[in-house]
Chains A and B, each alone.
Chain A
Amino acid sequence: MRQIPGLGKTTTIRMLATLIRPDAGTATIAGHDLLKEPGAIRAALGYVSQAGGVEEQDSPRAQVTFAARLYGVADPSEAAGRVLKRFDLAEIADRPGRTLSGGQKRRVAIALGLVHLPPLLFLDQPTTGLDPQNRANLWDRIRELREQGTSVLLSTHYLEEADALCDRLAIVDHGVVVAEGTPAELKREVSGDVVTLRLDEPERAAAALAPLAKDARLDEGVLRVYVDDGEHTLPALLRELQEQGLAIASIALDRATLDDVFLAKTGRSLRDTGAAA
């Protein structure tokens, strides 16, 4: 799941996690009806909120063991020991929560959500606020989980994160799913390559280049031209601009990213929405 901040990612996840009752509609989570069997969903679900829910006073071991008890795990201390070890937390497992670093706290939060080995895990913006190293580390963990058969529902406002981790992706804008599919499918839909141009008369340029491109979008004075085969189309584009007497300030050729998908689907660039929360 991927969305602009403040438009309901967390609300959606909280709703699916049985924390908010939906006003209307239906949902089936881990094979259970959201409205009729919230209890069965809770038992099958691991939920890691953005806040994380790590306590300050208690040690990770005490917290994870208690979580195992709440889920009725047969041997709570053994289960806690196992999940703490798996997330490289064994050494710091007996320190008070407040002494942990941001990355460690995040791993404790995930250990808390995984101690009962749920088939389904919700991660609400798990890497927000982490440094690049911890982010990369967490990505590896999430991939591992996926490979071991845990279904992971991940929300993020980092497009490269969605691209790197997701098998299926839904882009939600103003509470509506505007695109859905694998990252590759979505990128293919937009087009293979994107030529980004800065020039004096972008409107005129857009009109001139439209016949040569699959799509051309103007976003705050920056013209993005979507083409199937960038390397071979570029000379034609340049020729056309020259014939029209349009002077180019800068030009770049890139593979289309999910950012382009987002722009194509919502008409806005993610960077312009103040997404760096």
Chain B
Amino acid sequence: MIRDTRLFLGHELRRTFRNPIWPLFGIVQPVMYLLLFAPLYAGMAFGGDLGRALTMFAPGMLVITALFGTMGVAYGTIYEMRSGVLERIAVSPAWRPSIVLGRMLRDVAVLVVQSLMVILIALLMGLRIGLAGLLLTLLLLAVTGLFASGVAYGLALSLGDENAMGQLMQFFALPLMLLSGALLPMALGPDWLERVAWFTPFYHPVEAGRALFAGDLTNLSIPLAFAIMLGLAALTVTWSVRSLKKITG
């Protein structure tokens, strides 16, 4: 089981390294926000102190990286279904869930590297963050990425159609991003909006990320975010493995 998952992970990572341009595209959007939007944010609410503004703003950009970066990769799986690649590897003696698990772990690994790059840029712009906070943030992002990846593969494998998948993603991605408070904290809005936001998944890692970046490591939002993301990741990973089963028996 572990051997097969490692095999698929290694194979997928090698493919990613051969074509490293796509993961770079994945961070263009959050980096643009950091470079071109965070300074406005600093001017509006932090008296021009960009470092302090980034403590508030960068965690949201990292969650956006997890949300958009991970969802794109499952498109490749739809191609693999149509070209018979998935079927071919499903007939091998390899443990079938490892086919999906290896791909998800690749996505998580890529996401961690992407996050490090985004954080590095934020640091260069003046962000200050403790090591413990940084490591916990990366861990939380990895779990968030696993959840997003689970959704993406589950959708890809059960829909089997790029167009339907694109429509669904677009339909959900924007409201989920707005309600996560990635751009502006939900606390700035009316109570009802924050209450609605609480029930959307990405609100929690953004809140926890802000606490972690601020050095407030005992903040309750942190264990809450970990618990919710771990639970959702477990659900969606199971879902995508089941969806694979439906097409490969």
Residues of A whose CB lies within 8 Å of any CB of B are 14, 17-21, 39, 42-43, 45, 47, 49-58, 62, 66-67, 69-72, 109, 112-113
B84 touches A53 (CB 8 A): yes
A53 touches B93 (CB 8 A): no
Separation of A17 and B248 alpha carbons in the complex (Å): 10
Separation of A44 and B92 alpha carbons in the complex (Å): 9
Separation of A50 and B82 alpha carbons in the complex (Å): 11
A69 touches B7 (CB 8 A): yes
B92 touches A42 (CB 8 A): yes
Contact with A along B149-163 (1 / 0, CB 8 A): 000000000000000
A51 touches B93 (CB 8 A): no
Q: Indicate whether A71 sits within 8 Å of B92 (C-beta atoms), given known contacts A51-B82, A51-B83.
A: yes
- Contact for B94 among A18, A56, A70, CB less than 8 A: A70
B15 touches A58 (CB 8 A): yes
B249 contacts the other chain (CB 8 A): yes
B87 touches A53 (CB 8 A): yes
Which B residue's beta carbon lies closest to that of A51?
Answer: B84
Taking CB atoms and an 8 Å cut-off, the chain B residues in 1-47 that contact chain A are: 4, 7, 11, 14-15, 18-19
B87 touches A70 (CB 8 A): no
How many residue pairs between the two chains, A and B, have CB atoms under 8 Å in the bound complex? 69
Q: Indicate whether A70 sits within 8 Å of B89 (C-beta atoms), given known contacts A19-B248, A19-B249, A57-B15.
A: yes
Separation of A112 and B92 alpha carbons in the complex (Å): 11
B84 touches A50 (CB 8 A): yes
Which A residue's beta carbon lies closest to that of B247?
Answer: A19
B143 contacts the other chain (CB 8 A): no
On chain A, the residues within 8 Å of B4 by CB distance are 70
Q: Indicate whether A53 sits within 8 Å of B249 (C-beta atoms), given known contacts A45-B91, A72-B93.
A: no
On chain B, the residues within 8 Å of A54 by CB distance are 83-85
B16 to A: closest C-beta gap in Å: 10
B93 touches A49 (CB 8 A): no
Q: Indicate whether A55 sits within 8 Å of B83 (C-beta atoms), given known contacts A19-B90, A19-B248.
A: yes
B92 touches A53 (CB 8 A): no
B88 contacts the other chain (CB 8 A): yes
A158 to B: closest C-beta gap in Å: 20
Which B residue's beta carbon lies closest to that of A70?
Answer: B92
Separation of A21 and B93 alpha carbons in the complex (Å): 16
Taking CB atoms and an 8 Å cut-off, the chain B residues in 149-208 that contact chain A are: none
Taking CB atoms and an 8 Å cut-off, the chain B residues in 186-239 that contact chain A are: none
